[in-house]
Structure formats: structure tokens, C-alpha cells
Amino acid sequence: MRRAMADIPLGETRTYGQIAKQVGAPAQAVGQACGANP
């Protein structure tokens, strides 16, 4: 999941739902991972 977030180009955005679909995880899990990312 962190790799997918790190691969987002500078200046672009993704929703939790878009990342979740990409990695095959629930959007809530993506949100929690983003919240825990320092």
C-alpha cells in the first residue's frame, strides 16, 4: 500500500478508493495507512 502511495506523481492526487482498488484492499484500510504514515 505504501508503494502505491509513493508511486503517485508529485502534484497528482488519488482517493482512498482509487488506491484501495489498485492494491485490493478496503478504502478504510488505505485511510488508516495514510493516517499512520509519518
pLDDT at 7 > cutoff 80: yes
- The model's confidence at residue 37, banded by pLDDT at 50, 70 and 90, is confident
Instruction: Read off the pTM.
Output: 0.81
How far is the C-alpha of 36 from the C-alpha of 19, rounded, in Å? 16
> What is the predicted pLDDT for the residue at 18?
97
> What is the predicted pLDDT for the residue at 38?
72
pLDDT at 27 > cutoff 90: yes
Domain residue limits at 9? 2-36
How far is the C-alpha of 16 from the C-alpha of 8, rounded, in Å? 12
Provide the number of structural domains found in the chain.
1
Interhelix angle 16-23/27-36, nearest 10 degrees: 110
Quickly list H helices, the chain.
Answer: 2-6, 16-23, 27-36
| Mean pLDDT, all residues of the chain | 93
